[in-house]
């Protein structure tokens, strides 16, 4: 009898090795190598359309047509996907446990079932009765929404052939398995093979499929990195359990922008859209407090006004602390060094804590000016004007550099009642006169400080 062969596979990155090692040589994670049996498959995987003989075509001879996207009743969800669900697409949604992934997809399934045709919701973690209890709480009542509790991919595929749905949800990919793969469900081999099979179903049958993915303790989607490369779009559902707001962010999208963000509020009857997030983020803002500024940041095609808070206090350690929440922590010491060198604010013996209020994460350079003014305001213990919005990138020489889409940012600030917009001087020509807000252009961080703290 032939001896079965085994190999060790990293559950984080998919690295394979014939012997066990404590640390993965590829991703450098500890204790992630798991023993799996090596199975020789008789079928050859040829990718999308396997088994169908195809010949190369000239790109100019290929006929295309603009297919209508499947619209849901949530414009926020449609925006993140680039305008709606593309037929035949494979979308991966990841997020922390209990954040609302299943709730969101069950609501989307009900809306699509009411608008289009049959929708199949496959749950590998809950029974059909448990799914029904959640559906009753969310008000899901469509007769064209079918629920299946199954984890065997072969049985799922046969049910898809019988029902012929127009939309499929897999919750979650870590619970689905193929009989040909001997490893446990959720392993690298199972996740890779099941995702590949679902991709073939989506492309060949022209059915959009949404799959839910578990995340690791670092926040990344569990399984091999190749999982994110295989799908058409990757969406992250973020938020804090202690707050009711949830953020749906696209990090990969073959059919739209990768910087779009949709904001929802978790209520007892399900997720509700937040149509004006700027008002939500600024509604609890304190007036006349040192260290508080407002910046207009772009999230994809939408401008969002958020509050940046800073706290500068004398340190009790040999080395001052620099902490940041919501922005890159390396940006805080960089901007403080510019303030020390170019403005003369000596903060070497000061602890600095910077936070973006509301749980939003900002990563664009246009927030530099607001962060710098916020730090200077807390250091001087002098409040900024509550009706000022600050936009601009700060260079290492202290200059204020221009940013993109300045008119949309200023227009959003004017709509919320702000009176002054302090922006880069080179961006002032891009603002139309019809916007009801005073625009002040600055060329350096010193000039911005003079304008901000100038007595009226």
Would the annotation count 102 as a binding residue?
yes
Would the annotation count 101 as a binding residue?
yes
- Both tokens of 159, joined, read 């049910």
d(CA 125, CA 156): 14
**Sheet strand arrangement including 350-356:** 292-299, 302-314, 350-356, 322-325
Residue 242's alpha-carbon distances to 72, 115, 239, 343, in angstroms, are: 28, 34, 9, 39
* Angle at the Cα of 211 from the Cα atoms of 208 and 215, rounded to 5 degrees: 150
Would the annotation count 97 as a binding residue?
yes
Would the annotation count 95 as a binding residue?
yes
Residue 68's alpha-carbon distances to 71, 87, 217, 232, in angstroms, are: 9, 8, 38, 17
Cβ neighbours around 98 below 10 Å, total: 9
Would the annotation count 18 as a binding residue?
no
End-to-end alpha carbon distance in the chain: 91
Would the annotation count 455 as a binding residue?
no
* Angle at the Cα of 10 from the Cα atoms of 9 and 11, rounded to 5 degrees: 110
d(CA 315, CA 319): 8
Residue labelled with tokens 């984080």: 12
- Binding positions: 95-102
- Binding positions for ATP: 95-102
């Amino acid at each position: 009898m032939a001896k079965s062969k085994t190999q060790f596979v990293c559950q984080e990155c998919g690295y394979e090795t014939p012997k066990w090692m404590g640390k993965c040589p590829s991703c450098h994670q500890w204790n992630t190598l798991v023993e799996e049996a090596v199975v020789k498959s008789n079928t050859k995987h040829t990718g999308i359309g396997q088994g169908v003989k195809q010949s190369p075509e000239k790109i100019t001879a290929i006929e295309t047509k603009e297919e209508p996207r499947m619209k849901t009743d949530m414009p926020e969800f449609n925006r993140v996907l680039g305008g709606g669900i593309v037929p035949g697409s494979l979308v991966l949604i990841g997020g922390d446990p209990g954040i609302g992934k299943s709730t969101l997809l069950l609501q989307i399934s009900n809306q699509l079932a009411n608008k289009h045709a049959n929708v199949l919701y496959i749950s590998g973690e809950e029974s059909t009765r448990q799914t029904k209890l959640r559906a009753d709480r969310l008000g899901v009542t469509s007769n064209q929404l079918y629920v299946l509790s199954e984890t065997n991919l072969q049985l799922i595929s046969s049910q898809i052939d019988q029902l012929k749905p127009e939309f499929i949800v897999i919750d979650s990919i870590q619970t689905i398995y193929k009989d040909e793969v001997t490893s446990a469900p959720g392993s690298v081999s199972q996740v890779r093979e099941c995702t590949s099979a679902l991709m073939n179903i989506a492309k060949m049958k022209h059915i959009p499929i949404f799959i839910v993915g578990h995340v690791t303790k670092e926040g990344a989607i569990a399984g091999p990195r190749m999982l994110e490369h295989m799908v058409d779009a990757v969406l992250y559902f973020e938020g804090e359990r202690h707050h009711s707001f949830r953020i749906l962010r696209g990090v990969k999208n073959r059919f739209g922008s990768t910087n779009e963000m949709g904001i929802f509020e978790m209520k007892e009857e399900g997720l509700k859209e937040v149509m004006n997030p700027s008002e939500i983020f600024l509604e609890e803002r304190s007036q006349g407090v040192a260290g508080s500024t407002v910046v207009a940041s772009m999230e994809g095609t939408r401008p969002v006004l958020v509050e940046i808070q800073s706290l500068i206090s004398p340190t009790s350690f040999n080395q001052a602390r620099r902490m940041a929440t919501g922005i890159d922590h390396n940006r805080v010491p960089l901007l403080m060094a510019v303030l020390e060198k170019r403005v003369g604010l000596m903060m070497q013996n000061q602890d600095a804590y910077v936070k973006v209020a509301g749980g939003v994460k900002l990563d664009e350079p246009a927030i530099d000016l607001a962060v710098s003014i916020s730090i200077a305001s807390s250091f001087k213990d002098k409040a900024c004007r509550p009706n000022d919005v600050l936009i601009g990138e700060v260079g290492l020489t202290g200059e204020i550099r221009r940013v993109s889409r300045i008119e949309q940012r200023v227009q959003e600030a004017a709509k919320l009642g702000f009176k002054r917009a302090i922006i880069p001087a080179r961006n002032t020509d891009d603002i139309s006169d019809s916007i009801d807000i005073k625009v002040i252009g600055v060329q350096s961080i010193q000039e911005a400080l003079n304008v901000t703290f100038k007595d009226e």
